[in-house]
Chain A
Amino acid sequence: MTTNTTNIHIRTKINGQSYEFLAPSYMSLLDALREIVGLTGTKEGCLDGNCGACTVNMDGRIVDSCLVLAAEMNGSEIETIEGMATSDGLHPLQKTFLEEAALQCGICTPGFLVAAKGLLDNEPKPTERRIRHWLAGNLCRCTGYDKIVKAVQKAASDN
């Protein structure tokens, strides 16, 4: 191997908390979260941007963390599934996902929740069409999507 890979010094905020660590220059944001920071709620599905299981919020926008480099975390603010519930309890979306049985195996769920929160944070009352469009970057092999969409609609109706 001829490459001079380097460790990148990263200062970032994750779920409101400051972190500082070194990450290999070719590591993904997904792997940095799971393997360095120890936050394993964000899942790996396809590693090519199709499934959305790795969705996190980066500086106010949802992204596939498998297609972002850890190096890019420096100076940014990340929100993951671990930041959704607070000491007051579950996030409204987490509650409605449970009430509507919007998950089975659960591997896609963190990605769907973070993506749906990204929608409701900016558009509190989306139409069903808008919800389906917004969540098109998230795949689920179990539920058939209807229950997920219903759960998001229910959380939105409480807004």
Chain B
Amino acid sequence: MHPFSYVAPKTIDEAVAVLEKNGTRARPFAGGTDLLVQARANKWDLDTVVDIKKIPETMSLEVSQEGLTIGSGVPCYQVYNNEQIKKEYPGIVDGALIIGGIQIQSRATIGGNLCNAAPSGDSICPLIVYNAVAHISGPSGSREVAVEDFCTGPGSTVLQNGELLVKIVVPKPNAGSGTAYQRFTPRNEMDIAVAGVAVSVQLNNNGDDFESVRIALAAVGPTPILANKAGSSLSGKPINDDSISEAASLAKEEASPISDMRGTIEQRKHLIEIITTRMIKEAVKRARG
């Protein structure tokens, strides 16, 4: 591993200053479960790691009337052990629960999962279907980016030089909505998604029609994909096998996977269709309570 220096600033401004000064040779350090592995593999010439966990804003985890705020330094176990989050944001918990094993979850953050921008990142698709927003601070101030626009390619994001993800805000879901995420892996734990699907549904007042639906696909493109056609095909449709299978086959078309050691293009597309079907049904079940 290339030797690097370690700083643990206590404010966002200090962190941004160090990041800006060092450019690509400095990186924010949250749980380190991607960063240290990639640093050992010499993915970058790293001079400085900036531990963000001493900054109060990155460590906040809060459920309020506006929604859920997940600081970028908060480890997964704190998210999935929170009773209110379990009840109100089950799709976020679905993702957080399957990142690595228990040791990894003690450290790995949802913010790090997003900034690492792996197409298979298990927390990203749930964030997308919940309409979550990334709050970023940088040398020229703060800005907000929808999570669906955050990843720009495998391992790359909208973050510019000196910018730091401070927190992710998930808007409070309306009554009559439900969200679920599942992935396929050969092993139950400690594995990387071959394909994954998150679905969020908003039902009408009677609970028998879809009002609006968002579907996002993991590990089947250069970034997590918001499957717009599949989601909007369900707007105003009755909840039945026909409408659901049409949406699932559209999701299959919107997937653009590659073949690699984890799976072939065909297998991945097939999985997307099946998991989309299951997740729509699961999200409906959750919406109906």
Which residues of A are at the interface with B, using a C-beta cutoff of 8 A?
1-6, 8, 24-26, 28, 47-50, 52, 55, 58, 61-64, 66-69, 71-72, 115, 118, 133-134, 136-138
Q: Are B101 and A136 in contact (CB under 8 A)?
A: yes
CB-defined contacts of A26 to chain B, threshold 8 Å: 1-6
Q: Is the CB of A49 within 8 A of B5?
A: no
Tell me if A4 and B5 are in contact (CB < 8 A): yes
Contacts of A55 in B (CB 8 A): 103
Q: Which of A48, A55, A67, A69 has the most CB of B within 10 A?
A: A67
**B47, B49, B102: which contacts A62 (Cβ < 8 A)?**
B102
Cα distance A133–B101 in the bound complex, in angstroms: 8
B190-A137 in contact (CB<8A): yes
Q: A69 is contacted by which of B49, B100, B103, B188 (Cβ under 8 Å)?
A: B49
Contact B47 A49 (CB under 8 A): no
Known: A50-B190, A68-B107, A134-B102. A2 touches B40 (CB 8 A): no
Contact B100 A49 (CB under 8 A): yes
List 4 extra interface pairs beyond A61-B77, A69-B29, CB under 8 A: A1-B3, A4-B47, A28-B36, A62-B102
Interface size class of B (residues with CB under 8 A): 20 to 34
Q: Is B24 an interface residue (CB 8 A)?
A: no
A121 to chain B, nearest CB (A): 13
Q: Which residue of B lies closest to A72 (CB)?
A: B51
Structural contact, B3 and A24, CB atoms closer than 8 A: yes
Instruction: Knowing A67-B36, A137-B190 are in contact, say whether A49-B103 is a contact too (CB < 8 A).
Output: yes
Asked whether A64 and B104 contact (CB < 8 A) given A8-B6, A137-B190, the answer is yes
B5 touches A62 (CB 8 A): no
A136 CA to B49 CA, complexed, in Å: 29
Please pick, from B4, B31, B36, B190, the residue contacting A5 in the complex, using a CB distance under 8 A.
B4
Closest chain A CB from B77 CB (angstroms): 7
Q: Is the CB of B5 within 8 A of A3?
A: yes
Q: Complex: how many Å from CA A69 to CA B107? A: 12
The listed residue (B2, B8, B40, B188) touching A3 by CB distance below 8 A is B2
Q: Does B189 lie at the interface of the complex (its beta carbon under 8 Å from any beta carbon of A)? A: yes
Shortest CB-to-CB span from B190 to chain A, Å, is 5
Interface residues of B in 72-107 (CB under 8 A from A): 77, 100-104, 106-107
When chains A and B are docked, how far (Å) is the Cα of A71 from the Cα of B48? 13
**CB-based contact B5/A25 at 8 Å:** yes
Q: Which residues of A contact B190 (CB under 8 A)?
A: 50, 136-137
Complex partner residue of B6 from A63, A71, A133, CB under 8 angstroms: A71
Known: A136-B101, A137-B102, A137-B104. A5 touches B5 (CB 8 A): yes
Candidates A5, A71, A118, A138; contact of B3 at CB < 8 Å: A5
- Given contacts A2-B47, A115-B102, A134-B102, whether A48 and B37 have CB atoms under 8 Å apart is yes
- B261 → A minimal CB distance (Å): 16
Residues B37 and A67 in contact, CB atoms below 8 Å apart: yes
Residues of B within 8 A of A72 (CB): 51
A149 vs chain B, min Cβ distance (A): 14
Measured between beta carbons, the chain A residues less than 8 angstroms from B77 are 61
Within 8 A of A (CB), among B33-48: 33, 36-37, 40, 47-48
A3-B5, A25-B5 are known contacts. Are A63 and B103 too (CB-CB below 8 A)? yes
B18 to chain A, nearest CB (A): 12
**Chain B residues with Cβ under 8 A from A8's Cβ?**
6
